[in-house]
Structure 1
């Protein structure tokens, strides 16, 4: 059965699910592609181009076929890049003069999952309003209301409108090389874990071209093993390899839009640490507008404290790399990111790019002559405790007096030297608590107290605990 009308299709990072089940069944995917085409094709029926690509999952070619066929039925020419990183599609859409880009990937999720991300003609992800318009159109098409929108348009054989071309991916790779200028990486021993995903066969070659000695792990495209005990979901693998014989390590997720980094000791550094190193470097060269960066509500307070010593402010935003990018554009800033390793430099990209971020950090290490562990040392993290509380409903927290009372007491106890973030998940039926402060035992006790209060107020029974991926 296909996705029911009115169902929310898009989460914080596109549409995700289990292949073959709504919304990643053939009927829903085709309706989504029709809805996208109907938004792109003008009233005079002039043809437009859409770029598509995806990761290495075994289901990706089938979903791409569904999309290409459905777009072709609406006079849309499809340029199929084959296996390609998400940021490659985003980079190429405006440069190829395409009207949109579609990526088939579930990022860091297990192999059985997949997903769809859509980029506009400018290379940026669609806004929530644009995604909602597509959702309404898909729901209308499910009731036959969408047929009127395409009435009279050509329904030429879809395969005539699909061209498979890997050459543009080469242009994207050239842009990555150009992002470090004349900087070489000679002498650096770098371990790369591509996680059997879209970075496989690409990232290692780029680092070698720049002179690095590369040890490549899980560098074969393999959709049955993508993210399984490797890549960004298992950074301990690359960390062990670097500790044995390396200077830097980088682990990518399935579609290569995020990266986790480790230093020569095998110590893993998340997106906060990478943001600190990158921002401090740009600020020292007078190349950081503001000077300020964008970080999400979940980034550690230690990041703010460390960057303040460089005169760099931190602008907070909601979770999700799209929220990071929207805030960067609104505030006219350059650099931002998430703890998860989604990092965006708007002077170089329109979305998170794991390979680009890895190249920038390696170039900073090479240029400065300072090891990553030393560059990151000034970042002193505050203890941070996270709790996820299954809930049966999602009322505004302000409407829960007992919860508000505990929140107010926690904020008084932290007294400006800590933070509390309370939010509902965008992908699961849970409330998320994040508390940080100088004393771990204190924040742990406060998080437990708030979690127990939430569970009493709106907690779901044990049998209702939802399952699913967490961003």
Structure 2
């Protein structure tokens, strides 16, 4: 991870950590970098945050000032930007969103011409330009040339691209949704402008909540990070299923007909089993992260399905899938990647795939998840002086091993460092929450007793 860009773009408090000046300069670089041989074509989308408009205008101005043609999708989802970038032949794509974060945060996500997250080498060049130390093509670039005359780029509407993406999603459905009562929690975010249209076109009886964005209410007590409202709505209104998205709709969590949460791990289990039954699970493998629930691994073992584990982050899941040709992967949080259809997590696509299994097997979502038991999980964050020293302490390692031995095949312990804060995260999964907490706190006590606490 760089100085400004993490695993999911440039993220910060709008107007403070991420300013309009940052956006303008990023736009200046992208317009110039991709336009060195011929005029660059760049597509831009945004979520519903008030600051997204400010950042959209700033980054677009920067691109046009460097001579790029800028195409605006307006309020749309991250996966739609990925789709339009690769199918319409753009040089790169930009999504302005802080995903599941509160409204006062925002972010800039960059994608390559294939709709994938931009490579680290190009990101490093962006950061160098922001810091005034860019070196490229054998020279230093403290300032980039401004386009003049007919070289100045245009900024145009491209809502047709978003509409084509809606058509693409509809085309992927294998069955009519007629007769199914579906609740959608749009998180007052990007899904508001797309998800209802898709489900209504497929014939579902759609009920929508949190679809009145005002720039300040994105993710506020709603969506995939606050699933309680959807659980209550589904149960009280007799819905067949509910789906909750996050601010930019690259995540999806589900709620079954009983109002029970079905998280990303359970969704991967359900769809992987469905793929295996039809001999469609290429390599017989699901890609997970180290934070996936222990119950997922036990259920996949029972189903005869292999799995791989990556670092936390859908970026790492996707890299593994590309390198090894795997077809499904994701995170417990609801970032699910279906590599045959998308280059990024896509919440609406995930919802469509869950519907496909329910309709194909003529089963409720609660029945489809019966084969997987979700183990209780306790995560304790310990603020430390030095993450590496704390983890490598022999006494800490011995405590972790003792807990692992005690759990055997009835649970697991995972100790890892935070990528952004001075924290060591101690996570335990076991048969009960009390047992999880007891074992996690045992390791935490050793970390502190050894003098690592900050």
Structure 2 length-normalised TM: 0.93
1:61 pairs with 2:56:
no
The offset of 1:458, in angstroms, is: 6.3
Contact 1:259–1:342 (8 Å) recurs in 2: yes
SS in 1 for 2:275: helix
Structure 2 counterparts to residues 11-410 of structure 1, below 5 A: 11-22=6-17, 24-42=18-36, 44=37, 46-140=38-132, 148=141, 154-155=147-148, 160-181=153-174, 183-244=175-236, 245-397=238-390, 399-410=392-403
Once residues 451 and 272 of structure 1 are traced to their aligned partners in structure 2, the CA distance between those partners, rounded to angstroms, is 27
Once residues 420 and 334 of structure 2 are traced to their aligned partners in structure 1, the CA distance between those partners, rounded to angstroms, is 19
Name the structure 2 match of 1:467: none
3, 7, 14: which one aligns with 1:8: 3
CA 1:267 to 1:49, structure 2 compared with 1: closer, same or farther past 3 Å? same
Alpha-carbon deviations, 1:321-378, whole Å to 9, x = none? 1111011111210001101000000001000000110111112112211000000011
CA 1:157 to 1:227, structure 2 compared with 1: closer, same or farther past 3 Å? farther
Structure 2 unaligned runs (5+)? none
CA 1:11 to 1:228, structure 2 compared with 1: closer, same or farther past 3 Å? same
Name the structure 2 match of 1:427: 420
Once residues 369 and 195 of structure 1 are traced to their aligned partners in structure 2, the CA distance between those partners, rounded to angstroms, is 29
Q: 4+ residue stretches of structure 1 with deviation over 4 A?
A: 149-153, 155-160, 456-461
SS in 1 for 2:387: coil
Contact 2:80–2:165 (8 Å) recurs in 1: yes
CA 1:231 to 1:448, structure 2 compared with 1: closer, same or farther past 3 Å? same
Residues 280-289 or 128-137, more deviating: 128-137
Residues 259-268 or 196-205, more deviating: 196-205
SS in 2 for 1:290: helix
The offset of 1:445, in angstroms, is: 1.7
Once residues 34 and 66 of structure 1 are traced to their aligned partners in structure 2, the CA distance between those partners, rounded to angstroms, is 10
SS in 2 for 1:173: helix
Once residues 263 and 149 of structure 2 are traced to their aligned partners in structure 1, the CA distance between those partners, rounded to angstroms, is 48
Once residues 127 and 203 of structure 1 are traced to their aligned partners in structure 2, the CA distance between those partners, rounded to angstroms, is 29
What is the number of equivalent residue pairs in this alignment? 451
Alpha-carbon deviations, 1:48-69, whole Å to 9, x = none? 1111001000010110111011
Once residues 151 and 116 of structure 1 are traced to their aligned partners in structure 2, the CA distance between those partners, rounded to angstroms, is 21
Alpha-carbon deviations, 1:433-456, whole Å to 9, x = none? 212234544432221021222334
RMSD: 2.3
Name the structure 2 match of 1:469: none
Contact 2:32–2:67 (8 Å) recurs in 1: no
CA 1:90 to 1:377, structure 2 compared with 1: closer, same or farther past 3 Å? same
Contact 1:393–1:458 (8 Å) recurs in 2: no
Structure 1 unaligned runs (5+)? 1-5, 462-471
Contact 1:68–1:158 (8 Å) recurs in 2: no
SS in 2 for 1:56: coil
Contact 1:299–1:338 (8 Å) recurs in 2: yes
Residues 337-346 or 212-221, more deviating: 212-221
